[in-house]
Chain A
């Protein structure tokens, strides 16, 4: 070990001890994954984020936060096609309390963007909670970035809000999905980019894993309050939806997707992008090796 490496390691260790010590004081050991059930979306988030050391562990004062829900479809909240607007509002409130300078929310929607923002209830919830809805329906809002390591995906046009943010909170909703069997945290990141058609045409699962390896959210929160178990991702009617009342939180996007797959009754290894991402070390899909905190309200 050379001197530089030694200094770096000891500094990291000191920081780790300090941060860990503070967190341990507040809530004991920080788990890899928090699973909450049995409450309303806001209440589950309050308990879940506390178990991860509180919002202040992720959002520093004066930082720019971007929240990326799934707002893909022109369907109302009861259809569970888009992330629960109450959850988004609660996250914004906590970001603000933690001292965030601004909180931006956007999605590159599939259906007409202004109808999606309105019908999902997310636009109204964001406005009320003091966040900003950013448009994402035109190429002018995206900038080309190189991925470096991607296998099928080497560059994307990424939304400017993601590029400008200090903190990126990924808030997907758990759904069945006709293309990829399910959509959770990694699949939700498709809404960060402009040209999704390229992904579909060039090994969709590999592209999802490639992008997950490039863009790591600061925090993932999976909304599984109402879950579309059939006909996803758009759904046909409310009969596709089950009120599961659950929520997952983790910084490990592969772990949270693996846990989400199980909630939907699928084995994580049945979903190729979860396997691909785990294989390239984006996160771990072996749930039994993780420290999971399970909370029932």
Chain B
């Protein structure tokens, strides 16, 4: 007869389900308000994004960060089994793996901590020297979000639209069609392959990724070395049956020697649940049996802390800024509002794609090489797909790392992401000599004005008023090249306030009909 699971395991399953569902939802439906509402509550709890955001001085994330760190000091890495979406996803793979006879059980095989800390150090050094490439490929929240957004997003849209079509046919217009959007093939394939690889690791050896490559796992592993409550083996009660070792997906329990590598433990409580003799317990450190050991590795911890500092010093001396040529600026991506500068942005964004999913106008797309290799998959403005809504500040509001600062609406409306550039010889007004004006029509600041030239009206750009929102570029109907496009500003500027002198003084009401 199957016994009722241990309360700690039940608690883990409940919390993991809640986080798993909500963290999936905020990435799943493009442009949905769910992201805007839930993200500020959920994302401060995500370790790496919040640490990155803290380095930018946003103390508000401490509201999420401190509980996570305190929880780890109290209970070890339970975060990895409840709050981390990638951990939860791996647990689903591990559950699936159990169906395979040869893959039913695990055995003790804790990966060497030195390897994990080396990877972690390299990740941190690169991040501090300005390249988030490795961090972005390994950081669990972003790795998960990226796939849900770029692979799950289109699937959600397809499913929704199919359902909307059928319901409409039945005369029940309950669902609204969502605009179809697909990211660059590379931006879909690589994140998908990364997830498949992590899934394969999970299928092979459980939470191997979490104890070899994951930066959050490394950081929390260090903390869990001093945690108060631990998985403890009662040497009297334990009969070395090995049940605990077989269910340990972190492969960190050695039943023969009755030891637990608690730094590698992800706090799933499967072991306690599986133990037939109550030989395992979750107890405060002062109850611990004197003979229980943990694998310490103090030197590697020390190295972890020193390496980033020396690495940063080395990096600073080698990288020097240089001016961009015109052709380079043409290929550059426009960074979203709140980025402040491309350099600042690419050095803080973990490419989680939360802004990509939350953006109501769906103008944000994952970049491929537009920011350079270290900016891989970080979001850029795609003015072919859409344009930035003048009054909207959602991307900065949801950004969990602070790479996009939350701009007050008034400031956002004056923030120049780039400047519109008009190509006269490509414009319809010039080539066909007929009125068009789609660019000026859409411009929210009238930085693009139409001035008479012969019998038609021709666009003229006022640089100082342009905020680079891309409305003109998006609306421009010339093909294949747009006759007006935004040249990105590597450092975001500030536009002039528009002229607000009243168009008509004195009495406004119509006195006489002019016909």
Which residues in A have some Cβ–Cβ distance to B below 8 Å? 35, 37-38, 74, 110-112, 114-115, 119, 134-135, 137-138, 140-141, 177-181, 196-198, 200-206, 224, 229-231, 233-234, 236-237, 239-246, 258-259, 262-263, 265, 272, 287, 292, 294
Judge whether A234 and B443 touch: CB under 8 Å.
yes
Q: Identify which of B43-51, B103-111, B505-513 touches chain A.
A: B505-513
Most buried by A among B432, B438, B499, B501: B438
Judge whether B446 and A231 touch: CB under 8 Å.
yes
- In Å, the complex CA distance between A177 and B457 comes to 11
- In Å, the complex CA distance between A206 and B436 comes to 11
Judge whether A237 and B498 touch: CB under 8 Å.
yes
Interface contacts beyond A200-B436, A245-B509, A294-B513: sample of 4 additional A-B pairs, CB < 8 Å, sorted by A: A35-B513, A141-B177, A197-B477, A200-B438
- In the assembled complex, 9 residue pairs joining A and B whose CB atoms fall closer than 8 Å, in A order, are A110-B441, A115-B392, A119-B391, A177-B441, A239-B501, A241-B503, A243-B508, A243-B509, A292-B515
Interface: B270 (CB within 8 A) = no
Judge whether A178 and B389 touch: CB under 8 Å.
no
Judge whether A112 and B389 touch: CB under 8 Å.
yes
Judge whether A197 and B445 touch: CB under 8 Å.
no
- In Å, the complex CA distance between A224 and B508 comes to 12
Given the contacts A201-B436, A229-B503, A135 and B177 also touching, CB distance less than 8 Å? yes
Q: Mark B139-166, 1 if CB is under 8 A from A, else 0.
A: 0000000000000000000000100110
Interface: B361 (CB within 8 A) = yes
Interface: B437 (CB within 8 A) = yes
Name the distance in Å between B182's Cβ and chain A's nearest Cβ. 15
Given the contacts A137-B179, A205-B435, A246 and B503 also touching, CB distance less than 8 Å? no
- In Å, the complex CA distance between A210 and B209 comes to 63
Judge whether B435 and A140 touch: CB under 8 Å.
no
Name the distance in Å between A123's Cβ and chain B's nearest Cβ. 13
Name the distance in Å between A117's Cβ and chain B's nearest Cβ. 11
Name the distance in Å between A71's Cβ and chain B's nearest Cβ. 15
Judge whether A236 and B444 touch: CB under 8 Å.
yes
Judge whether A37 and B513 touch: CB under 8 Å.
yes
Interface: B88 (CB within 8 A) = no
Judge whether A200 and B440 touch: CB under 8 Å.
no
Judge whether B503 and A239 touch: CB under 8 Å.
yes
Contact pick for A138, options B178, B392, B500, CB 8 Å = B178
Name the distance in Å between B197's Cβ and chain A's nearest Cβ. 36
Q: Mark B438-469, 1 if CB is under 8 A from A, else 0.
A: 10111111100110000001000000000000
Judge whether B437 and A246 touch: CB under 8 Å.
no
Judge whether A135 and B176 touch: CB under 8 Å.
yes
Judge whether A37 and B510 touch: CB under 8 Å.
yes
Contact pick for B445, options A138, A236, A287, A294, CB 8 Å = A236
Please give, as numbers and ranges, the residues of chain B lying within 8 Å of A115 by CB-CB distance. 360, 389, 391-392
Contact pick for A111, options B177, B389, B435, B498, CB 8 Å = B389
Judge whether B446 and A179 touch: CB under 8 Å.
no
Judge whether A179 and B440 touch: CB under 8 Å.
yes
Interface: B102 (CB within 8 A) = no
Name the distance in Å between A276's Cβ and chain B's nearest Cβ. 12
Judge whether A239 and B442 touch: CB under 8 Å.
no
- In Å, the complex CA distance between A234 and B504 comes to 18
Judge whether B509 and A244 touch: CB under 8 Å.
yes
Judge whether B510 and A110 touch: CB under 8 Å.
no
Name the distance in Å between B292's Cβ and chain A's nearest Cβ. 58
Please give, as numbers and ranges, the residues of chain A lying within 8 Å of B407 by CB-CB distance. none
Judge whether B442 and A234 touch: CB under 8 Å.
yes
> Which residue of chain B is the closest to A140 with respect to CB atoms?
B177
Given the contacts A112-B389, A263-B514, A179 and B434 also touching, CB distance less than 8 Å? no
> Which residue of chain B is the closest to A243 with respect to CB atoms?
B508
Please give, as numbers and ranges, the residues of chain B lying within 8 Å of A114 by CB-CB distance. 360
Name the distance in Å between B346's Cβ and chain A's nearest Cβ. 27
- In Å, the complex CA distance between A265 and B515 comes to 11
Please give, as numbers and ranges, the residues of chain B lying within 8 Å of A180 by CB-CB distance. 435, 437
Most buried by A among B391, B392, B500, B515: B515
- In Å, the complex CA distance between A177 and B499 comes to 18
Interface: B189 (CB within 8 A) = no
Given the contacts A115-B360, A262-B514, A294-B513, A179 and B437 also touching, CB distance less than 8 Å? yes
Given the contacts A200-B436, A244-B510, A178 and B502 also touching, CB distance less than 8 Å? no
Please give, as numbers and ranges, the residues of chain A lying within 8 Å of B406 by CB-CB distance. none
Interface: B428 (CB within 8 A) = yes
- In Å, the complex CA distance between A200 and B429 comes to 10
Given the contacts A178-B457, A179-B441, A234-B444, A204 and B515 also touching, CB distance less than 8 Å? no
Contact pick for A242, options B161, B164, B508, CB 8 Å = B508
Contact pick for B502, options A205, A239, A263, A287, CB 8 Å = A239
- In Å, the complex CA distance between A196 and B436 comes to 11
Please give, as numbers and ranges, the residues of chain A lying within 8 Å of B165 by CB-CB distance. 140
Please give, as numbers and ranges, the residues of chain A lying within 8 Å of B441 by CB-CB distance. 110, 177-179, 233-234
Most buried by A among B442, B504, B510: B510
> Which residue of chain A is the closest to B168 with respect to CB atoms?
A140
Q: Mark B361-376, 1 if CB is under 8 A from A, else 0.
A: 1000000000000000
- In Å, the complex CA distance between A119 and B409 comes to 15
Contact pick for B477, options A198, A205, A234, CB 8 Å = A198
- In Å, the complex CA distance between A110 and B436 comes to 15
Judge whether A200 and B442 touch: CB under 8 Å.
no
Please give, as numbers and ranges, the residues of chain B lying within 8 Å of A135 by CB-CB distance. 176-177
Given the contacts A138-B179, A236-B446, A243-B509, A197 and B501 also touching, CB distance less than 8 Å? no
Judge whether B510 and A246 touch: CB under 8 Å.
yes
- In Å, the complex CA distance between A107 and B50 comes to 42
Judge whether B434 and A203 touch: CB under 8 Å.
yes
> Which residue of chain B is the closest to A138 with respect to CB atoms?
B177
- In Å, the complex CA distance between A37 and B508 comes to 12
Interface: B390 (CB within 8 A) = yes
- In Å, the complex CA distance between A141 and B161 comes to 11
> Which residue of chain A is the closest to B435 with respect to CB atoms?
A204
Name the distance in Å between A84's Cβ and chain B's nearest Cβ. 15
Judge whether B504 and A229 touch: CB under 8 Å.
yes
Name the distance in Å between B364's Cβ and chain A's nearest Cβ. 13
Please give, as numbers and ranges, the residues of chain A lying within 8 Å of B457 by CB-CB distance. 178-179, 181
- In Å, the complex CA distance between A141 and B178 comes to 11
Please give, as numbers and ranges, the residues of chain A lying within 8 Å of B389 by CB-CB distance. 74, 111-112, 115
Lowest 6 A-B CB distances belong to which pairs? A179-B437, A138-B177, A197-B477, A178-B440, A201-B477, A203-B434
> Which residue of chain A is the closest to B459 with respect to CB atoms?
A178
Judge whether A179 and B515 touch: CB under 8 Å.
no
Interface: B478 (CB within 8 A) = yes
Contact pick for B515, options A177, A201, A245, A287, CB 8 Å = A287
Judge whether B434 and A204 touch: CB under 8 Å.
yes
> Which residue of chain B is the closest to A201 with respect to CB atoms?
B477
- In Å, the complex CA distance between A138 and B165 comes to 12
> Which residue of chain A is the closest to B361 with respect to CB atoms?
A112
- In Å, the complex CA distance between A243 and B430 comes to 36
Contact pick for B391, options A74, A196, A230, A231, CB 8 Å = A74
Please give, as numbers and ranges, the residues of chain B lying within 8 Å of A197 by CB-CB distance. 438, 475, 477
Please give, as numbers and ranges, the residues of chain B lying within 8 Å of A234 by CB-CB distance. 441-444
Given the contacts A138-B179, A197-B477, A239-B501, A203 and B432 also touching, CB distance less than 8 Å? yes
Name the distance in Å between B154's Cβ and chain A's nearest Cβ. 15
